[in-house]
Amino acid sequence: MPEQSPLDLAEGDPFGPHNLPYGVFSTADEPDRRRVGVRIGGHVLDAGAAAHALGSPYAALLAQPSLNALLAAGRTAWRDVRRALTAWVTVPAHRPDIEPLLHPLDSVTLHLPYEVADYVDFYASEHHATNVGRIFRPDGDALTPNWKHLPIGYHGRAGTVVVSGTDVVRPSGQRKAPTDPAPVFGPSVKLDIEAEVGFVVGTPSTLGTPVPLGDFREHVFGLTLLNDWSARDIQAWEYVPLGPFLGKSFTTSVSAWVTPLEALDAARVDPPTRDFDLLPYLDDSADEEPGAFDLRITVKINGEVISEPPFATMYWTAAQQLAHMTVNGASLRTGDLYGSGTVSGPEVHQRGSLLELTWNGRDPIELPTGKRTFLEDGDEVTLTAWAPGPDGTRVALGEVTGRIVAAPGV
């Protein structure tokens, strides 16, 4: 019998032709040559080589060491390339050209797929914000007065965004518990995760010109899973009166794969009902296209599921975050990345951080490797997710994994 083609996928494969996320890879025989790849099942297609072999006008765009050229090309190019890729992996006549350009996923090295320009992180889950408020302000209002009027965010450090699989070095810094007489310096003892979704900007915007809600899909290429590692003890001491700094900036992990927005059309849903009318630049009540995404996230520590946060519950949408991020005239750059903020649902098992799951260490979680309040050296955290796809399929997002290693000198 002839050998089965890598393009003959099992029924329901979440990385089928309806998905086709983009990444960047290298091979063992050419470790220094990075290329744009597209995942199909358990293989990676060399997109630039495929475009060249089939005479695509986008061959030069795809024959790049990162996704930035494709990101900058704009929505028409995004649509055309995706349409071509779908044909290349589904039309039988293309198989002789395509099959030799498929690499088994476990035989390649995956890299950060785009050059990150700026990084912004938001705080868009009402459930997460309410839990954090109750933990730190038990006698006050859980939400700050501005929370339901605007998407709260902070500017992070683009240079420490790393690809899935990169070790996370435990950060050191100042910390001071409320009962301590003075701050001390040392490795964080409250190292945490934040299960998030990141959005990758393609088309830039002009300085001084806000991006309206309706232009979200003209600028945002796709999304990716994101883990915003957080040193809660460092953060608690430093962030009054300003925002997060060293407690966040040491590492942010993202998936090696970017899922294009068009792959998630079947997953679009209406956002939760809001309590009052928003200011016009954030008001999406008349939008014909639902603004939220139904993504089902799973969080594992050392292979054990600890949480399943639902992204559809997020109060602020990615389009509103983009509009707010630029309403003052701040411009977008190709490769900008912005995070949703921790994704948490209304139930305990849907909380997207250990801060919430353990209620700041009060209620340890049980793992086969022992109880946890916060992360220990050697712990490996993995985020996975899927979304409803066309005709009952599932669209899988690329996982993001990181393993905690000890602080230097410890």
Residues marked as catalytic:
128
Q: Report how far residue 156's alpha carbon sits from residue 168's, in angstroms, rounded to the nearest whole number.
A: 17
**Range 205-208 contact pairs with CB under 8 angstroms and sequence separation of 24 or more:** 205/326, 205/331, 205/332, 206/331, 207/329, 207/330, 207/331, 208/329, 208/331
Q: Mention every residue, 6+ apart, whose C-beta is less than 8 A from residue 342.
A: 123, 125, 128, 194, 195, 196, 228, 309, 352, 353, 356
Strands of 189-311 (E only): list them: 191-192, 195-201, 220-227, 230-231, 252-254, 259-260, 268-269, 292-293, 296-301, 304-307
Q: Report how far residue 289's alpha carbon sits from residue 311's, in angstroms, rounded to the nearest whole number.
A: 17
Of 196, 251, 223, 16, nearest in space to 113 by CA: 223
Please report which residue ranges of 92-201 form alpha helices under DSSP H: 95-98, 126-136
Instruction: Give CA 206 to chain center in angstroms.
Output: 25
- As a whole number of Å, the end-to-end CA separation of the chain is 57
The owner of tokens 């799973």 is 298
Tokens of 371: 């109880």
Residue type, 247: G
The owner of tokens 């916060």 is 374
Q: Report how far residue 398's alpha carbon sits from residue 24's, in angstroms, rounded to the nearest whole number.
A: 13
**To which H or E segment does residue 72 belong?**
helix 68-73
